[in-house]
Amino acid sequence: MTDAAPSYTSALLQHHGAVGAGGLDAGVAAHYGDPVREQRALASGRAVVDESQRGVVTVSGPDRLSWLTTLSSQVLTGLQPGQSTETLFLSVQGRVEFAPHVLDDGETTWLIAEADEAPGLAGWLDSMRFALRVTVTDVSADWAVLAATRDLGEQLATALGDVDGAAPAVLVWHDPWPGVAPGGHPYADTEAHPGEDRSWYEHLVPMSALQRVVAALGEAGIDLAGSWAAEALRIEAWRPRWGSETDEKSIPHELDWMRTAVHLSKGCYKGQETVARVHNLGHPPRRLTLLDLDGSQHTLPEAGATVETGGKVVGRVTAAQLHHEAGPIALAVLKRSVDPAAVLTVRDVVAPATDGAEGSEAEPADLSGAAATQEPTAAGAAREEWAASQTVIVPPDAGSVVGRAQGLMRGPRGGGMRI
C-alpha cells in the first residue's frame, strides 16, 4: 500500500528501563519498566508518550487547503490556524489508503501519519500537484511527535525557549474523536461513547530538541509512558488507527470513521461513489468490535490472531492491550454477519517471551508474571486461545440510510447529509 519507511531509533530508548516496541511503534519504547503505572500516569495527564517514529508531511502554498479538499474525504477549505481534523485519501474503490491527522498553521498544512504511511502519502501527493501552487515535503526526519492526554503546548514552548533562547508556539493536534464533525455520521449506536473519556493531543517538536524537552517535562513532573499505555487508551476508546485496524480492503464505514474523517455533503473525490453507495444503500461487509478477553491466560493475542465462532474464522484481532481498569481488551474486525451476542474465541500462535532486553519488545505481554497454560508448537512457540465477548462498535445494520425509519440510527450532529 505504501513504500517502506526508513529505519528509525528514538534517542529516548536510552532512557532507563526502556523496552523497544514493534509493529507501527517500532523505534520507540513499548514501556519503561512498568506499563500499568505508566498508563495510569498517562490517563491522568502526568505522562507523555514518545511517538517520534511517526511520519510528518507538510503541504505549503496558497492552494494547499482547496487542493487537499479535492483529493480527500474531508472539507479542509477554510480550516483555521490551530484547528484540528483528520481526513482519508481513498482508492477508486473507496478503500482507505492514507488517514493523516491534519493541522494548519496559516501558511502550512501539517499531516501527521504513521511511519510506514508517510513516504507513500508524500509521494502520492507530490504526483498530484500538477500546476497548482503547492509544495509537498516529507519532514519526518526533522520533527518529532509527543503525545499526551492534555495540551502540553505551553510547557513545551517554554522548554524550547530554554534551549533556543525563544519561546516558539508549538503546533498541537487535538484528536476530534469521537465527536461528529460537520458532514459526518456516527455508526456506533450508543449515547455514552467510551472515547468521550479520552482526550488526546499530538505535539510537534524539533527532532533535535526531543531529549531536552522531555527532560524539561520530567523536571516538571511529567514522566515518560510507552506505546503500550497509549494503545490501551486508544483501544478502550474504540479509536481506529491506520495500519492497525486498516488493511488493503478497509472502507471507512467498517471502522466508524464516518464520524470524524468523512464529509458526506462535499464535492467529488476519489472513492466517493463507494462511500455514498454503502452509506445510503448498502452495508459495510465488515465491522469493528471491542473484545473483552479472558484474563486468566496472563497473555495477550498479537495483531492478526484469528477470531472464531462455531469453529469458523469470522475475523481477526487488530490490536490488544491490558487496560488499567478494563483489563485485557482488543479491537477486532469481524464479518458483518457475526451475531453480536455470539461468544467468540481468539486463537493465536504465540512466540515465547524474550528476556526483555533493551531495544526488543517482549511478546506476548505477560500480564501477571505467571506462566499461561499453553499447547507447545514448533520452534518453541505455543498455541493459545482466549474466550472473548463482544461490545458492538459498528452495528451489523450500519449503512443503508435511504429509507431507514428515523430513530433507528442517530443522525449526524453539526450538519451533514440527512435523507
pLDDT at 211: 97
CA of residue 243 relative to chain centroid, distance: 8
With both helix axes pointing from N to C terminus, report the angle between 210-219 and 153-164 in degrees, rounded to the nearest 10: 120
- The residue among 108, 271, 151 whose CA lies nearest residue 261 is 271
CATH of the domain at 71: 3.30.1360.120
- Max CA-CA distance within the chain? 65
Q: Which residues of the chain have pLDDT under 50?
A: 1-5, 354-376, 406-419
In a domain, 279, yes or no: no
Q: Are 294 and 218 within one domain?
A: no
| Interior/surface letters 297-308, b for 16+ CB within 10 angstroms, e for the rest | bbbbbbbebbbb
* pLDDT given for residue 274 in this prediction: 96
Supply the pLDDT for residue 137.
98
Looking at residue 383, what is its pLDDT? 83
Domain span at 87: 11-236
Domain assignment of residue 139, yes or no: yes
Q: Are residues 231 and 304 in the same domain?
A: no
CA distance 1 to 9: 23
pTM: 0.89
Same domain (yes/no): 291, 228: no
Predicted pLDDT at 297:
78
Q: Which CATH number belongs to the domain containing residue 316 in this structure?
A: 2.40.30.110
Number of domains in the chain: 2
